[in-house]
Amino acid sequence: MAYLSKQIFIKEKTINNNQSLYKNKNLVTILLATTLRGYNLGFLGVFLGIYLYYLGLSNLQFGIALSCFTLSGAISNLFVYFFKNILSRKISLIIMTLSATISGIMLMYTDNYYMILIAAIFSIGSITGGDRTGISSIEIPIISKLVEPKNQTYAYSVYNFLPMISKIIGTSILIIIPVLRSITSLQTKSIYFILLTIYTLINTIQTSTYIFLNKEIESINYEKAKIISTSGSDSKLILIITSLFAIDSFGGGFIARSFISFWLIKSFSLNEGILSIIFILAQILNGISLILAPKIAKKIGILNTMILSQIIANSIIVVAALSTNWIIASILYLIKEAFNDLDIPTRQAFMMNIVSEQNQTQMASISNLGRTGAHTFSPGVAGYVSSIFGINLSLVFGGAIKIIYALILLRFKSITFKKYN
């Protein structure tokens, strides 16, 4: 279709082979920053369910709190969208990580529910363990700018794999909670304070990392860019992608990692150590899927990888939600996680290659805004549904919505995205 056409720009200093990825200072800085952020995402994604359960919140209060954490991601994407031509990418990244640091300090010193909601809005966080914030909305087009299209799926796999390793560490640290309780006189509240202090320090270090970025990462000067060919409009395509991803993300809010930890601890009375082991294994499987994603996409296609992985993963979570045995439920959840992240690097490469370069930040920020916007409301809805029908049925609804998204994407594949089948 006409609007699938894209402007092609001559770009300077692009990385044209996989071995050169680690020789570019800016790319290494981005990879270091996202690795640091991965620890906090892995920690927060599981810790929130444990911490909010510890505070004695109802299902509805829990859902509202998660919505506020997700709202911070939506706000950060709005910030990126409206200030993309005013603030440099470097300054925007520093501002957002400073906001996350402020949130960490607030969480350290309060257990008041309403103060936690305020801290959540500043968190630039995620309840999924993944990154849908304005930070990734800037980093994704930076990678596209620095790396040749033929190497981008590999680059995005590395970009997602490194924080996956640090997410495992972030989740693993939760194992020390029951250990410290048993071998020291520390109270649970004191242990949580220590963990939140580490979380806040890592946010501070990430902020410092972005200082080393240079002008190469900034948006291309389009007045000076040499245009080889021009046709079509990206706006319609961005709208379609954003709408589809919003459906996917709305369903994801029902089965976010924080909700899964809340479900397991409330339904099966699991302690933090067992939960940590489950989520460590889940993240190892996520990491393996990120490695395999480029190879699978090469064989069956980017869109086919996105569609099949989501149908399989979310069919499994529906079955897991109906289980009454924690071992069976946990095993099914782990199988689901083995498929779940196959669509992450493929989706990122897909988004960046179907629009012109000047619209890549817009594509990333608006699509992320659609995802985080829908995700903002879904935990609250999920909390309400679970308060009436039970948390198990809430998980079933989430899996069903994500399957519907995949089926809609399958329908669009043969029409709108024919070029990328």
Quote the percentage of the chain above a pLDDT of 90: 29
303: CB partners within 8 A, 6+ apart:
350, 409, 413, 417, 420, 421
How many domains, in total, are found in the chain? 1
Residue 183 belongs to a domain? yes
For residue 254, the enclosing domain spans: 19-217+235-416
Residue 262 belongs to a domain? yes
Q: Which of the two residues, 363 and 314, has the higher pLDDT score?
A: 314
Q: Which of the two residues, 397 and 133, has the higher pLDDT score?
A: 397
Token pair, residue 337, equals 């996680």
Residue 12 belongs to a domain? no
Residue 253 DSSP one-character state:
T
Token pair, residue 217, equals 């990462």
The pLDDT of residue 9: 34
The pLDDT of residue 233: 57
The mean-pLDDT minimum among 3-12, 187-196, 330-339 falls in 3-12
Q: Are 289 and 339 in contact (CB under 8 A)?
A: yes
Residue 14 belongs to a domain? no
Instruction: Tell me what the mean pLDDT of segment 182-197 comes to.
Output: 90
The pLDDT of residue 8: 32
Report pTM: 0.70
- Cα three-residue angle 38-43-46, rounded to 5 degrees: 125
Q: How many CB atoms lie within 10 A of CB 53?
A: 14
The pLDDT of residue 193: 92
Residues 78-127: tens digit of each pLDDT: 898 888 778 889 999 999 999 999 999 999 998 899 999 999 999 987 76
The pLDDT of residue 1: 38
Kindly tell me the sign of the dihedral angle through the C-alpha atoms of 355, 132, 105, 116: positive
Q: Are 416 and 1 in contact (CB under 8 A)?
A: yes
Residue 2 has pLDDT above 60, yes or no: no
Residues 125-175: tens digit of each pLDDT: 776 666 778 898 899 888 888 888 777 778 888 888 898 889 889 888 888
The pLDDT of residue 128: 65
**Distances, alpha carbon 306 to alpha carbons 139, 153, 303, 380, 419, in Å:** 21, 13, 5, 27, 15
Residue 222 belongs to a domain? no
The pLDDT of residue 229: 36
Residue 225 has pLDDT above 60, yes or no: no
Residue 130 belongs to a domain? yes
Residue 82 belongs to a domain? yes
The pLDDT of residue 220: 54
Q: Which of the two residues, 314 and 298, has the higher pLDDT score?
A: 314
Confidence grade of residue 301 (pLDDT, cut at 50, 70, 90):
confident
Closest listed residue to residue 248, CA positions, set 143, 107, 405, 354:
405
The pLDDT of residue 230: 34
Q: How far apart are CA 361 and CA 226, in angstroms?
A: 19
Closest listed residue to residue 372, CA positions, set 83, 34, 125:
125
- Cα three-residue angle 380-383-387, rounded to 5 degrees: 145
Residue 326 belongs to a domain? yes
Q: Which of the two residues, 343 and 193, has the higher pLDDT score?
A: 193
The mean-pLDDT minimum among 7-16, 296-305, 403-412 falls in 7-16
* Single-letter amino acid code for the residue at 174: L
Closest listed residue to residue 139, CA positions, set 277, 26, 266:
26
Q: What CATH code is carried by the domain that includes residue 177?
A: 1.20.1250.20
Q: How far apart are CA 264 and CA 211, in angstroms?
A: 40
Instruction: Tell me what the mean pLDDT of segment 330-355 comes to.
Output: 85
Instruction: Tell me what the mean pLDDT of segment 326-335 comes to.
Output: 95
Instruction: Tell me what the mean pLDDT of segment 221-232 comes to.
Output: 37
Residue 367 has pLDDT above 50, yes or no: yes
Residue 51 has pLDDT above 60, yes or no: yes
Kindly write down the DSSP assignment for every residue of 338-360, as one continuous string: HHHTTHHHHHHHHHHHSS-GGGH
Kindly write down the DSSP assignment for every residue of 33-52, as one continuous string: HHHHHHHHHHHHHHHHHHHH
* Single-letter amino acid code for the residue at 159: Y
Residue 352 has pLDDT above 80, yes or no: no
